[in-house]
Amino acid sequence: MDCTPGGNDRAMMLPIVVLGLLVGSFLNVVIARLPEGRSLVRPRSACPVCGATIAWFDNIPLLSFLALGGRCRACEAPISPRYPIVEAATAALFALAWATFGWSAQLPVALALLAALVAITGIDLTHQLIPDVITLPGIVVGVLANVITRRVAWSDALIGAAVCGGIFLAIILASGGGMGGGDMKLAAMLGAFLGWRAGLFALFVAVVLGGAVATALLVSGRKGRKDPIPFGPCLASGGAAALLWGSRALAPGGAVWWLAAFAR
């Protein structure tokens, strides 16, 4: 049964967008607090500059940032643009997931994976860290989700975790630690959720994107050859692309070009 949206059903996208904004607001808390080992629930959100508690009406996703002009109500310190970016990105990804999967059993799995990838991206960009507390349970959740939804066979999920994680383990061993263990665990998580075929497509997208970003940073002078460049956001982007559009790349004839490029 095709559960993808169509016709008047597209009006139902609004609840998904609102959900994405709310989840994005929570992910901002995760990005700020999880790497520091702080509670995600208490205390209430406060301005990092003056410490003033943020009222509920100043904590409405996107709208409050716009209403406040991007500044704290109490001290007028600038609010990091990360907050509206994370909220808007999460809402957009949730909308794309709903457009792809509709009201099916695969939708909540897709939303969970996308939320995790947004959190990982924000944390790696801010702290150069990919938390095990997200990726290690994520490997298990990815396999179990495929057992339940049968999006890919559970054996493909296990093989995906082993193959995708194994590729990065080989890179780590060959480079003497040039790639972080967090990247390896994130790759394994993507393989568990996506299966080995889509997992390899995710890695291909990540490598291409990472090369483009690294080249741009080097050419612009913003990074030197020996400066670390977080690869987690590239892996997360590849995972999102494989989740939302991987079926086209994996269709008969669609996989030839990227598999050939990946083999080189």
Check whether residue 13 and residue 129 sit in a common domain. Answer: no
Check whether residue 100 and residue 167 sit in a common domain. Answer: no
Mean pLDDT of 210-236: 86
Q: Average pLDDT of the chain?
A: 88
Question: Which of 104, 136, 152 is a domain's end point?
Answer: 104
Question: Which of 104, 123, 151 is a domain's end point?
Answer: 104
58-to-31, 46, 73, 76 alpha-carbon distances in Å? 19, 11, 8, 13
Check whether residue 153 and residue 216 sit in a common domain. Answer: yes
**Chain segment 115-154, per-residue pLDDT in tens:** 999 999 999 999 999 999 999 999 999 999 999 999 999 9
Mean pLDDT of 24-38: 94
Check whether residue 40 and residue 130 sit in a common domain. Answer: no
Check whether residue 111 and residue 215 sit in a common domain. Answer: yes
Range of the domain at 155: 105-264
Check whether residue 147 and residue 69 sit in a common domain. Answer: no
- Confidence at residue 7, expressed as pLDDT on a 0 to 100 scale: 45
User: 30-62 b/e with 16+ CB inside 10 Å = b?
Assistant: bbbebbeeeeeeeeebebeeeeeebeeebbebb
Lowest mean pLDDT among 60-69, 102-111, 155-164, 227-236: 227-236
Check whether residue 66 and residue 146 sit in a common domain. Answer: no
Mean pLDDT of 26-35: 95
Q: Is the pLDDT of residue 8 over 50?
A: no
> Longest Cα pair distance anywhere in the chain, in angstroms?
58
What tokens appear for 104 in the block?
């099916």
- Confidence at residue 68, expressed as pLDDT on a 0 to 100 scale: 92
Check whether residue 123 and residue 252 sit in a common domain. Answer: yes
- Confidence at residue 42, expressed as pLDDT on a 0 to 100 scale: 86
- Confidence at residue 251, expressed as pLDDT on a 0 to 100 scale: 67
Q: How confident is the model at residue 108 (pLDDT cuts 50, 70, 90)?
A: very high
Check whether residue 85 and residue 198 sit in a common domain. Answer: no
Mean pLDDT of 5-34: 85
**Chain segment 32-81, per-residue pLDDT in tens:** 999 998 989 888 888 888 888 988 888 999 999 999 999 999 899 999 99
Check whether residue 126 and residue 228 sit in a common domain. Answer: yes
Check whether residue 100 and residue 134 sit in a common domain. Answer: no
Check whether residue 95 and residue 21 sit in a common domain. Answer: yes
Q: What angle do CA 223, 224, 229 make, to 5 degrees?
A: 55
Give me the number of domains the chain comprises: 2
